[in-house]
A and B are shown apart, each in its own frame.
Chain A
């Protein structure tokens, strides 16, 4: 940490190297470029369909104010109008005939005006269209997708934790014939991503009768080489005496695994759990290939299907995208540091 202190000392003396300024400029730009798009997504998701389509877009979700005036069945849109005598007034629009709008004064409904539309500016106020969020829940199978994603993520993570920790336990605690081969098999699977065995895995899943079931998404990725390695590395550091002592006390091998090694490996299990949740929640290619019926879609596949169907209904699409972001945002806020060290230590994602 010495050089840092030296640099700080230099900084305090008021001497700024140009690289310091460049660094802060770069970081500032980074904040806009990295955060901006997501902030823009969230802001846009609260806009009305009409204001989503306007160009240039407004920054905040605004919608035009409307007033109810006695004698008119519909609420009328409010405009700031510049009258012929240069006076500015807030008027409600009754109808528009070509380039002339017929306006009425909300304060004095008998008073009507004819104003050129060019002299009108809509009066708008901040309003959040929460219906963008509530309507898709009723209109589309969105809750279904949400549930499917939650189910897949939870069950798959539990299975991954169980079977990977079992394998890691075997590969870290025991000496047995074929251990090297087993290790090589695990390494081998690292080199075979789903992208190159897409078709045959589909065949296996078909043979198992799982097409269009959520198990088809859960099972193929349940055993992960990265998970086995992560847990094995950790279990190797556990004190052997503890295990020997348990054996002396006639604990069965399963009890040693379940009651001693698993609780001790909890930190590594937590890392794997977080990774598994991320992988599963965001998984795309394999579910896209194996799920063809919309009732078994996961959230990601559902969103992708929506963006094809709802090209004009960005308001729903954006809101649903935001919903799919929520778990990720929670993970990020609470566990960001944790994942960061995980990646830095293992180089996996």
Chain B
């Protein structure tokens, strides 16, 4: 399989070196195993082709993926609906009595939707309120910081590659690691409190105060994911034609005007992508916040996904029906957000 030309695409340079590296690392042993595997599969595949015909081999190639998608996405989505319309504690739908819209009625049984305490399932509504607050703060700070960072990284500065890497690397860290790193810094006798006492302040128990817990949840989330959004914006900035800036330069247009009149309008499609992605991610927030605060203090940073997880898996009575109903509600929200994104990208292209 090596006698064919590889890497014929225009951006071959980094790829080719990676391939060479991989090939050297993999060595011939891996190649031998692959070759044997190939010969093993070749014969039955040829037989199959004779059986179904050349054209219909497409279905054969498609089959494994569709089986996986059906089994782990489409069937579950249908079962999710079944769960949300049935009651009881059993995991198996056949043993669950039909209860109609009771789960939803129970979930939405609120004195006032602006006061989680007035709801029967108050944890869910606290989750909704927290997720909403988290998403808004996260969205605003994420867009602001990734935009500023992208603009700065797009300037003709020395060591641009290094600085870009600096902002990008937390994207690769696992949420557990991110949360543990910050938990270590923010704990009672941690680095930040040491800094605070050094400049004459008092120690702050960040995870005991609801406001601080939410602040750090947002902060840590922005810290971890900012690099991702910065990259999207940077790609947009670099696609802006240079002659526009040249023209502005000739006219001696002030920088802020260039930013306001050229850069931001042309960056708008990328900004929309960033806003929608940050929204979709924000609504689904779980990992970092869960490890960082555990949803606490009390329910101050409990998010919807954590509520779903705990209702279904981590409570005394596993209430699958209620968790499914909550999932469906979350799914509808996500669906609407995705539709908004699709209609945006369609009108953009």
Which A residues are closer than 8 A to B by beta carbons?
1-4, 6-8, 11, 17, 19-20, 23-24, 26-27, 30-31, 33-35, 37-38, 40-41, 44, 53-57, 162-164, 166-167, 169-171, 173-174, 176, 178-179, 182, 185-186, 188-193, 195-204, 206, 219-223, 228, 234, 237, 247, 252-255, 257-260, 262-264, 266-267, 270, 278, 281-282, 284-285, 288-289, 300, 303-304, 307, 314, 317-318, 321, 324-325, 328, 331-332, 334-341, 343-345, 347, 349
- Does A254 lie within 8 Å of B172, measured CB to CB? no
15 more A-B residue pairs beyond the given contacts A199-B312, A222-B68, A289-B313, with a C-beta to C-beta distance below 8 A = A37-B185, A38-B181, A54-B189, A174-B58, A185-B66, A196-B334, A197-B80, A203-B76, A257-B61, A266-B6, A282-B174, A282-B175, A332-B172, A347-B232, A347-B277
Residue numbers in B under 8 Å from A257 (CB-CB): 61
Option from B8, B11, B76, B235 in Cβ contact (under 8 Å) with A197? B76
| B72 beta carbon closer than 8 Å to chain A | yes
State how many angstroms separate the Cβ of A283 from the closest Cβ of chain B.
8
Nearest chain A residue, comparing its CB with the CB of B339: A191
> Complex formed: what's the CA distance from A195 to B309 in Å?
9
Residue numbers in B under 8 Å from A189 (CB-CB): 69, 73-74
Residue numbers in A under 8 Å from B92 (CB-CB): 203
| B208 beta carbon closer than 8 Å to chain A | no
Nearest chain B residue, comparing its CB with the CB of A255: B42
| B267 beta carbon closer than 8 Å to chain A | no
6 A-B pairs with the lowest CB-CB distances in the bound complex, closest first: A223-B68, A254-B45, A200-B76, A282-B174, A200-B79, A167-B65
State how many angstroms separate the Cβ of B328 from the closest Cβ of chain A.
7
- Does A176 lie within 8 Å of B58, measured CB to CB? yes
> Complex formed: what's the CA distance from A221 to B174 in Å?
17
- Does B189 lie within 8 Å of A340, measured CB to CB? no
Known contacts being A27-B157, A167-B65, A197-B77, is A321 close to B55, with CB within 8 Å? no
Option from A270, A324, A334 in Cβ contact (under 8 Å) with B177? A324
- Does B249 lie within 8 Å of A228, measured CB to CB? no
Residue numbers in A under 8 Å from B251 (CB-CB): none
Give the interface centre of A34, A179, A262, A318 by most chain B CB atoms within 10 Å.
A34
Nearest chain A residue, comparing its CB with the CB of B331: A196
Which B residues are closer than 8 A to A by beta carbons?
1-2, 4, 6-9, 11-12, 14-15, 18-19, 21-22, 38, 41-42, 45-46, 49, 54-62, 64-66, 68-69, 71-80, 83, 91-93, 148-149, 152, 155-157, 163-177, 180-185, 189-191, 193-194, 197-198, 223, 228, 231-232, 234-235, 242-243, 245-246, 249, 255, 273, 277, 284, 286-287, 291, 305, 308-309, 312-313, 320, 323-324, 327-328, 330-331, 334-335, 338
